[in-house]
Amino acid sequence: MTVRLFARLRELVGTGEMEWEVGGGSTVDDLWRDLAFRHEGLDAFGRSVTPAVNGELARRGTPLSEGDEVAFLPPVSGGAR
C-alpha cells in the first residue's frame, strides 16, 4: 500500500511517498499512529490532518486494503481574501 505525504508532513517524515504493509483489519488510524510513533512531531499535527483513500476524503476509521493509496493532507493554504 502506498502512503503519500504533502507539504509540512512530507518534510517532517522526510519523504512524500512510502510503502506500508497493511495488516488484516487495518484502518487509516492504525497507519497514522504507526507513522506518528516513528516520526517525532506528527502527533501534534493529528487533528488538522485530513486523510484520503484513493483520492477520496476518508475518516480515521476507514478500512485499508492492499493496493490502496492513502494520503494525509495538512491544512490547505487558501487565504480568506
Least separation in angstroms between CB 18 and another protein: 15
- Residue of the chain from 55, 61, 66, 67 that contacts another protein (CB under 8 A): 55
39 binds another protein (CB under 8 A): no
Cell of 7: 507539504
- Residue of the chain from 14, 19, 24, 76 that contacts another protein (CB under 8 A): 76
Cβ pair 59, 72 in contact under 8 A: no
Count the site residues for another protein by CB under 8 A.
21
Least separation in angstroms between CB 25 and another protein: 26
Nearest to residue 6, comparing CAs of 15, 40, 41, 38? 15
4 Rama sector, left if φ>0, alpha if ψ -120 to 50, beta otherwise: beta
Least separation in angstroms between CB 19 and another protein: 18
Run of H or E including 33: helix 28-38
